[in-house]
Amino acid sequence: MAFTADETGHWRSQTSTTCIHHNPDLLPAHAEPMSQSPHLAHGLEGDTTPPDWPPLRLDEAREVLAHFPDAGEAQSIVWHSPRPFSAAARVATTQGVLFVKRHHQRVRTPATLGEEHRFIQHLHAQGLPVSKVLRDHAGHSTHANGEFVYEVQPDLAECDAYRDTVSWQPMQNLEHAFLAGQMLARLHQAATNYDSPQRQSHVLVARSELICASDPITALAQQLSQRPGLADYLAAHDWQTDLYAVLEPWQPRVHARLAAQIPCWTHGDWHASNLGWRLHGVPPEVAMVFDFGLAARNFALFDLATAIERNAIPWLTLDRHDPRIDIAIALIRGYHAQRSLTRDDLELLADLLPIVHVDFALSEVEYFHAITGSRANADLAYGEFLQGHAAWFNTAAGRALRDAIATAL
């Protein structure tokens, strides 16, 4: 079920059909056919759906872990991740439980995964609690096998309290939101002296070039020669008009202020499900930060706006639930307690929020159209995500959220 926003801020249901068309050429030779697997992934509409990629198998995990001296021998698959953009599982080994993740090299190569891993290594050296990656016999943080590349990390099950929570589902309480905001500020403090170039890939990466450009339409047009999959999809749309409609109410008013922001690497997907939580102590705390797959070189307020967009707006159930203004305020106050925000920061944050998703939404279009071959999901990413999310901020509920953010402190 898809939704379009009305003036009240609630979404009216419209009929839509989602069907992922799997490309058999992208599956590992030893992969189990999708029809024989009961494993389901999170769908784009809050449902469960056959995953984009076949689940990891034990013989596959055993072959991968044989290249990592500290891994031990794989004995069983304990749990399959429901996250849709890769295949990941908890694997029990003779040395304990590990988290093994498989990517297709059209999504992540060893080089592009290395960009994430170097950022993680830097944050760890700065004292941030991040999930480190294991190294193979040659000291590499990935293992490539044919069209696929793997990474291995320590298990997070004991602190993965939100592991089955869908992105865009709000946090459990305000204390968690405050702690998440505080940890995000710590990450930005640790990232201030990390000077690494922008990511090589646009696919499933949270970047901000378009929203920061003086002429976003020309900027995207110049990218398309290097993004043939996205270019092919957009050729069937009046994308210049569509993108103008998304950006015009917001981007001109923030452009000069965005140009003044200090660049830094950002997490890009700051949701409760990408944080490990120690909830049995008093008080609770964020024990781990993980899943840096969307990380890129942006600026700090980009990450904070993304955190609000991910955790405070129940996009998948806006027909039944209002945005959680209290969650947004708690995130901001937690951030401010660690890293001070000014009134100008808050006003920019409120104006940035309606378009913070634009670059990533287009990367999802590219992924679904060019890699998984799902026109239906590409259409959802283009219509409901790229266009629909921006339009919602013109509703009464969207305006109320932005007004509250601008005066949060």
Query: What pLDDT digit, counting tens, does each position of 328-385 carry?
Result: 999 999 999 999 999 999 999 999 999 999 999 999 999 999 999 999 999 999 999 9
List, in sequence order, the alpha helices (H) in 213-322.
216-223, 228-234, 239-247, 251-259, 300-311
What local confidence, expressed as pLDDT, does residue 314 receive? 93
List, by residue range, all CATH 3.30.200.20 domains of the chain.
17-155
What mean pLDDT is reported for the chain?
Answer: 88
Specify whether the CB–CB gap between 31 and 61 falls below 8 A: no
What local confidence, expressed as pLDDT, does residue 8 receive? 30
Measured distance between the N- and C-terminal CA atoms of the chain, rounded to whole angstroms: 37
User: What is the domain class of 174-406 according to CATH?
Assistant: alpha beta
Specify whether the CB–CB gap between 323 and 312 falls below 8 A: yes
Residue numbers in the chain where pLDDT is lower than 50: 1-37, 40-42
What local confidence, expressed as pLDDT, does residue 329 receive? 98
What local confidence, expressed as pLDDT, does residue 4 receive? 36
In whole angstroms, give the CA distance from residue 176 to residue 367: 32
Residues 6 or more apart whose Cβ sits within 8 Å of residue 5: 11, 12, 318, 388, 391, 392, 394, 395, 398
Q: What percent of the chain has pLDDT over 90?
A: 77
What local confidence, expressed as pLDDT, does residue 18 receive? 30
In whole angstroms, give the CA distance from residue 276 to residue 347: 30
CATH superfamily of 17-155: Phosphorylase Kinase; domain 1 (3.30.200.20)
List, by residue range, all CATH 3.90.1200.10 domains of the chain.
174-406
- DSSP-assigned states of every residue in 269-336: ---GGGEEEE-SSSS-EEEEE---TT-EEEEHHHHHHHHHHHHT--GGGTTT----HHHHHHHHHHHH
Residue 133's Cβ-side half-sphere holds a number of Cα atoms within 13 Å equal to: 27
DSSP state of 319: T
In whole angstroms, give the CA distance from residue 180 to residue 182: 5
What local confidence, expressed as pLDDT, does residue 220 receive? 98
| pLDDT tens profile 57-66 | 999 999 999 9
